Amino acid sequence: MFDSLKEKLSGFRKDVEETTEEKAEEAEAEEEDAVQETEPVEEPVEEDEAEPEDSASEAEPDSESEPEVEAEAESEPEVEVEAESEPEETNNGGFMQKATSFARGEIVIEEQDVEDPLWELEMALLESDVEMSVAEEMLEGIRNDLVGATRKFSAETGDVVEQALRDSLLSVISVGQFDFDQRVAEADKPLVIIFTGVNGVGKTTSIAKLSKYLEEQGLSSVMANGDTYRAGANEQIEVHADALDKKLIAHEQGGDPAAVIYDAVEYADAHDIDVVLGDTAGRLHTSEGLMDQLEKIERVVGPDMTLFVDEAVAGQDAVQRAKEFNDAAEIDGTILTKADADSKGGAAISISHVTGKPILFLGTGQGYDDIERFDPETLVERLLGDEDE
């Protein structure tokens, strides 16, 4: 899952590491040169001056020794002079930080150290189908975190870079997160969830998976086939309902989807069922008739949650559709299917940020158990961690 993106993020970490490694080596070499230049000044002075002073009066050596102290004091600025020779190349504020850090055995990561790696990263994110505005926000976050950061000559830059990547990923992925389980547990029953999205992305399979997921949480559910448009839709969802031993409410093809969902709510009320899972016909946000149906469901039933379903493998297209759906008929969250088959990860990273609504579940295969709660921290760990999946 998301292997190619993972590789690209790791490439960025290595790029910045290499640049700062070279810089640290240069800085260390400069520091050693500076120390060597100061040493010959101190030693001969001490030995030559010490002997004649012993035989002289006691008062004199003290006064003679003062220049030595000065000589020592003078030797220190030589280290700083090295650092001070660079102010014109650097911005003034940055220079002070750089000089101080240098004296402490640290280097400062500067804009020019990360410029090329950041450009490479931007290309990598766009190739991975990360939406442009999301990629830009990530890059800005990373740049702000890295430029001006200090690292010890001997330390690993990788940790600093990893933290910057982690922060920027989390800030774009975590948008709008809420605790789905808690919301479902606390809601008045029956809770009505409607599923929307285009054809063939895995809506019906996700409904089946979710009914099993809810059962594992101790919650009962009924399925409702609001896809009265497509021939064979009833049979398709019926297979899942039978396999999972769930009640299915369905009408004839061509019927009114709002009426089907309404009937399912009545059934749930009468039978103490906790959740109604309402399928709808696959549609584009531009298919007017079908969008009107959604509006009617909204008016007649007033669903508690509308979940947008799309497939991770659709990348930028899925991101665009999520945005357009949310604009046309507000969604509460997304189920991103087929994450198991997606190596790019762009949709997983971009959808929450673009819609302002969270990804709630990832579909991870064709089996009923292949669904997992979306957790931003887990995704970041997947992308930056050492483990292969």
Instruction: Annotate each residue in 260-299 with x if it binds ligand GTP (CB under 6 A) or - if it does not, as one string.
Output: ----------------------x-----------------
90 is in an annotated binding site: no
Query: What is the amino acid identity at position 236?
Result: Q
Tell me the C-alpha distance between 33 and 36, whole Å.
5
Least spacing, CB of residue 235 vs ligand GTP, in Å: 11
For residue 147, give the DSSP letter: T
The b/e string for 181-200 (b: 16+ C-beta within 10 A; e otherwise) is: eeebeeeebbbbbbbbbbee
Tell me the C-alpha to C-alpha distance, in Å, between residue 266 and each of 16, 262, 289, 293, 295.
60, 6, 26, 19, 20
Quick check: 363 binds ligand GTP (CB under 6 A)?
yes
Nearer to ligand GTP, 205 or 228 (CB): 205
Interface with ligand GTP by CB under 6 A: which range of 54-62, 300-308, 361-369, 374-382? 361-369
Residue pointed to by tokens 């931003």: 376
Tell me the C-alpha distance between 306 and 180, whole Å.
12
Residue 373's φ and ψ, nearest 5 degrees, are: -60, 135
Quick check: 365 binds ligand GTP (CB under 6 A)?
yes
Nearer to ligand GTP, 107 or 281 (CB): 281
Interface with ligand GTP by CB under 6 A: which range of 24-32, 174-182, 335-343, 375-383? 335-343
280 is in an annotated binding site: yes
Q: How many CB atoms lie within 10 A of CB 20?
A: 27
Tell me the C-alpha distance between 309 and 351, whole Å.
11
CB-hemisphere CA count at 13 Å for 171? Answer: 16
Q: Judged by CB under 6 A, which of 64, 72, 120, 340 binds ligand GTP? A: 340
Least spacing, CB of residue 329 vs ligand GTP, in Å: 17
Quick check: 370 binds ligand GTP (CB under 6 A)?
yes
Interface with ligand GTP by CB under 6 A: which range of 131-139, 175-183, 218-226, 332-340? 332-340
Q: Judged by CB under 6 A, which of 86, 179, 341, 369 binds ligand GTP? A: 341
Q: Is 195 helix (H, G, I), strand (E, B) or coil?
A: strand
Q: Which residues are annotated as a binding site for GTP?
A: 197-204, 279-283, 337-340
> Residues interacting with ligand GTP, by CB under 6 A?
199-205, 233, 282, 337-338, 340-341, 363-366, 370
Binding residues: 197-204, 279-283, 337-340
